Amino acid sequence: MRLHWFIAILVLITALTVLPSDLRAYSDVVQDSWEYEAVKSLSEKGILAGYPDHNFRPGQGITRAEFAKVTCLAFNLALQGPPDSRFPDVPPTLWAFPFIEACAREGIILGFPDGTFRPQDPVSKEQMVAVLVRMVWQEDLFFPPEASFIDVPPARWSFGLIETAIVVPLFSSEEIPIVQNGDFQPQQPATRAQVSVMVWRAERTYQETWLGPAQQYTLNYSVALTNKDGPDVTAVTFTLPLLQSVPPHQIVESWQSSVPVEEAFSDNVGNRFASFELGGIPTGHTVTVSVQYLVSLRPFISRLQGFDSFTGYDTTSVLYQQYTQPEQWEESDSEEIWEKANELAGSEDDPRQAARRIYDFVGSYLNYNGYNPSEKGALEAFRSGEGDCTEFADLFIALCRARGIPARFLEGFTYVPGSFSHGDLTHDWAEILLPNGQWLPVDPTFGRFGENYFGATDDRHFLLVRGRQWPELKGFHYYYYQYWWDGTEQPNLDSSEEILIQPVS
């Protein structure tokens, strides 16, 4: 009997790690199935494979011990462990001992309140998600107070971890193979298909992204409209963009405005706007619109491991065509810009490397001459060799587009301790699109000091809008307003901004 037990364990370990000669040997994993790509990837790496009968058994469960091994293999965790186990039911003689110890040492797998690990119990869906969130994102992100699932209320231990997995996202709240009839069913055993997909997604994110600890801020943005003299203003329509969540490194936890929102809407790239009806403003009076946010920011670095060589863009795609075209202020069709872009990139056909050369050039070439409220554009900045953050972004974007690398303008705020200056707190930077669909943030203004802001951002950049010359703002930055009055004499309506950003300790 003891020999039979040993053989059974050996077969189990082999089933977890041996790659079949051809994935098509899995008669129960068809090519158009939800789990196919994940099973294929994990099988090729020897992380999770099928059984000797050439089946993968996607609907079968997986034990907590088996999941520990899969996690160690997927994330290359070191297996050196102490001679004694921290769990009384995981002796050093157990085949899974080094894997369970490695995960426990990493702090991603925990025992039960009675101190046991229960290695032969099936891993539940909430346990699976908890391990992967702890592995990739270290902790719960900030999440909305409303629960996504009735069966995972805020009081449940896994609530924050599951909500984080949705925000990042590791899965969608409407993904039928994970969610059934709107319920997550957290205690249900995870299937091998679910484990494959979740581990595959988390592994790719872990390889490509580093996230630091979160910093929480309050950000208050106010615009005061004053009718200085002339006739009374009878009505004002005011529009401004809204900060939005950009998982995983920017999460807007809440926001509120001092004036009721008349209409909230989005554009075709996901920017969100709010419009307000402010009523009239008598001569000598002021009306203020303010929006206060609670925002969490995390440092973010793209490790760019998921894209190893340049295979070409889909030049027929809408995104490619939109973000490689010249625009006002981003004159990528200028002969001077085109020649410089090709001089910098040379024969480099990897868009990351070509864009990195452009980033390095812009940061070292342009002289930052302080905040300038007027527009100059990329060509003038290139000719003069100076500008503020707007020109740094414009020149970088124009050079990228001239090289055939899609790039777009980003606008928002930065936190500068002790500063209340508009020029210090409002900020422009950029992002580029890779052929694999990944957008990378790039800030040549901050990068001019030698720090890495290529494919990376810190916990001080608040993204407000993507793109330039927004029709919703009639080409203006940060806000736009229209007003009406009676009679032929025009009112003298003036505006002023106030920005207050404070970290929450």
Give the pLDDT confidence score for residue 87 in this predicted structure: 95
Tell me the residue ranges of DSSP E strands in 184-257: 209-211, 215-229, 233-242, 250-257
* Per-run averaged pLDDT (10 residues), the chain, 505 residues: 35 42 69 91 90 91 96 90 85 94 90 95 97 79 73 92 83 91 96 96 81 89 94 96 87 93 89 95 96 93 55 86 95 97 92 93 94 90 96 98 97 84 83 86 93 90 92 91 93 93 91
Q: Are 432 and 447 in contact (CB under 8 A)?
A: no
Q: Of 145, 22, 129, whose CA–CA distance to 67 is shortest?
A: 129
**Is the N-terminal amide bond of 241 cis, ω within 30° of 0?**
no
Q: Are 371 and 424 in contact (CB under 8 A)?
A: yes
What letter does residue 437 receive in the DSSP assignment? S
Cα atoms in the Cβ-side hemisphere of radius 13 Å centred on 225: 25
Q: Are 428 and 484 in contact (CB under 8 A)?
A: no
- Tokens linked to 320: 């490619």
Helix (H, G, I), strand (E, B) or coil at 423: helix
Give the pLDDT confidence score for residue 424 in this predicted structure: 74
CA 214 to CA 297: how far, in whole Å? 5
CB atoms < 10 A from the CB of 88, how many?
Answer: 11
The CA dihedral of 399, 401, 404, 408, to the nearest 10 degrees, is 130
287-321 burial by CB neighbour count: b if 16+ within 10 A, else e? bebebebbbbbbbbbbebeebeeeeebeeeeeebe
- Tokens linked to 82: 């102490």
| Number of DSSP helices (H) and strands (E) in the chain, helices first | 14, 17
Helix (H, G, I), strand (E, B) or coil at 191: strand
Query: Which residue bears the tokens 């809408």?
Result: 318
Q: Of 414, 374, 419, whose CA–CA distance to 394 is shortest?
A: 374
Cα atoms in the Cβ-side hemisphere of radius 13 Å centred on 339: 5
Strand order in the sheet with 209-211: 209-211, 300-302, 456-457
C-alpha distances in Å from residue 31, one per residue of 28, 293, 411 = 10, 45, 42
CA 490 to CA 486: how far, in whole Å? 9
In the chain, what are the domains?
A: 2-211 (no CATH), 215-298+475-503 (2.60.40.2250), 300-458 (3.10.620.30)
Give the pLDDT confidence score for residue 139 in this predicted structure: 58
Q: Label residue 485 left, alpha or beta by phi (over 0 means left) and psi (-120 to 50 means alpha).
A: beta
- Tokens linked to 17: 């790690």
Strand order in the sheet with 286-297: 250-257, 286-297, 215-229, 492-503
Cα atoms in the Cβ-side hemisphere of radius 13 Å centred on 31: 3
pTM, two decimals, is 0.69
CA 287 to CA 217: how far, in whole Å? 26
CA 456 to CA 60: how far, in whole Å? 40
CB atoms < 10 A from the CB of 21, how many?
Answer: 7
Give the pLDDT confidence score for residue 267 in this predicted structure: 87
Give the pLDDT confidence score for residue 402 in this predicted structure: 98
What residues form DSSP beta bridges with 461? 414
With residue 231 as reference, give the H or E element that holds it: none
Give the pLDDT confidence score for residue 306 in this predicted structure: 39
